[in-house]
Amino acid sequence: MTADKKIYMEIKAKTIDEVLEQLDAIIADSVKNNDPYGFFAYIYRRTTAEIKQAILDKKFEDNARMEKFDVLFANKYLDAYRDFHSGKEVCSPWAAAFDVKKDKLTILQHIILGMNAHINYDLGMSAAKFSEGGEIENMKNDFMKVNNVLASLVDELQVKVGRVSRLMFLLDWISKRNDEVVMNFSMEKARKQAWNFAMALSTIEGQAKQAMIDEVDGIIGRLGETVKHPPGKILAYTLKVVSFFEEKDVRKIIEKLESD
């Protein structure tokens, strides 16, 4: 990462355009260093751009509120990325997603690890924080409406990952297309769980709230480790085979993911 990018990344994003710019910086840095962190960053940039367009098209009940919330939420990831690469401690879910140097993971695993941390953990806390002093129920419709935006990306994502992971069909065969369900887990099911987490957090304070955050931190962190090292010899072996035959050049992978 260049000095300019390091300085830029130290500034919290204040608008959705600044979020997109910082995600571009992460993607560029990942391409430069051939780091797999760019896979989730690309997917997140793609979804953030869709949310921005939905806001511009006034698809939410309160579009100004939705942009503010999206920026608060995005900064959770941007902060975690910055802290990890500065040698600071990060929460268990992001530690599982970022500490992957010793693991030979598939592209899909890298993407799901980011989704697991950001949606299963960050999202609920962001919604609870954003709603402090107000009624969290007021934003439920817009929160859930995002599911419709994200669900439209599932098929696109499946096709694009297949371009750079030619043996993805093995996962279809092994799990009877459950890999698509896994991807949707981070789009719809996980968002519903995040809403339940936010609702629970909004009803408690002090030590009880911190205890719940710590508990969820541990649960989602362990889930991330399971994504990296799934139980069952057949699935574990299949993932190794898929990873072995995948493209290894991050630049080429990102370019193929970006192409229409």
Quickly count: other Cβ atoms within 10 Å of residue 229's Cβ.
12
DSSP alpha helices (H): ranges in 57-167?
63-85, 92-98, 107-115, 124-130, 140-151, 154-164
Is residue 78 within 8 A of residue 15, CB to CB? The reply is no
Quickly count: other Cβ atoms within 10 Å of residue 116's Cβ.
24
CA–CA dist 212, 197 (Å, integer)? 9
First to last CA, the chain: 28
CA–CA dist 260, 258 (Å, integer)? 7
Max Cα–Cα distance, the chain, nearest Å: 52
The parts of the chain modelled with pLDDT lower than 70 are 1-10, 133, 152, 154-155, 166-187, 260
Annotated domain spans of the chain: 3-258
The token pair that represents 236 in the structure block: 């574990």
Q: Give the pLDDT confidence score for residue 128 in this predicted structure.
A: 92
Q: Give the pLDDT confidence score for residue 183 in this predicted structure.
A: 42
CA–CA dist 179, 227 (Å, integer)? 12
Residue whose pair of structure tokens reads 């300085």 in the numeric block: 7
Residue whose pair of structure tokens reads 């957090």 in the numeric block: 201
pTM: 0.87
The helix/strand/coil state of 165 is coil
- Three-state SS sequence of 12-50: CCCCHHHHHHHHHHHHHHHHHHCCCHHHHHHHHHHHHHH
Q: Give the pLDDT confidence score for residue 3 in this predicted structure.
A: 42
Q: Give the pLDDT confidence score for residue 48 in this predicted structure.
A: 95
The helix/strand/coil state of 177 is coil
Is residue 97 within 8 A of residue 113, CB to CB? The reply is yes
Is residue 131 within 8 A of residue 108, CB to CB? The reply is no
pLDDT in tens, 236-247: 777 888 788 888
Q: Give the pLDDT confidence score for residue 222 in this predicted structure.
A: 94
Number of H helices, E strands in the chain: 15, 0
pLDDT in tens, 29-73: 999 999 999 999 999 999 999 999 999 999 999 999 999 999 999
Q: Give the pLDDT confidence score for residue 22 in this predicted structure.
A: 95
